[in-house]
Amino acid sequence: MAYQKLQTSSGLAVIKSATVPIPDPSTKVLSGTANFSVAGTLTDVGTTFTSAGIQKNAIVYNTTAQKAYFVTDVTDDLNLALSPSSAGGATDNYIIFNAPSNGCILFVGGTGDVVVQTATDKDIPAASVTELTFKNIPDAAFLPVQVVRVDDTTTATDIIALW
């Protein structure tokens, strides 16, 4: 019996957010450990943000605190202004991506509801984004829709974006 196999080339653990989309992993610019203890600010004394190519509206994944942010300004070589303005820890790990994903499928490792925004166009204009709620997703399930954001009201856990 033949079966259809899911073909993926990359994956990323999703950080749920009410506003920040899933980043495109191919646009990863930088990663490291930084101070997020001042709300709305990322400070990393070990890097130079201006020469690293960080752009306004880049996506920051704080993988320690499980928070996602937009870069609102590259303040200087050591500091980024972030939105939403919420604090993290003094030594949190982060990854910065310069662009959002055009859509991915999701693998859901833990049961619960999944609230997503889906894209109907590769350029993701606001008019073509739809919010959907998938109820009672079982462990180890795939969502076969092009997702651009997983809402923070999602109760399911261990979500991985696949491309």
Query: 86 and 61 in one domain?
Result: yes
Give the pLDDT confidence of 9-64 residue by residue, as tens digits: 889 999 999 999 999 999 999 999 999 999 999 999 989 999 999 999 999 999 99
Q: In this structure, is residue 46 part of a structural domain?
A: yes
Domain carrying residue 86: 25-97
**pTM > 0.75: yes or no:** yes
Query: 106 and 71 in one domain?
Result: no
Query: 154 and 127 in one domain?
Result: yes
Q: Please write down the HEC assignment for all residues of 25-93.
A: HHHEEEEEEEECCCCCEEECCCCCHHHHCCCCCCEEEECCCCEEEEEEEECCCCEEEEECCCCCCCCEE
Query: 67 and 39 in one domain?
Result: yes
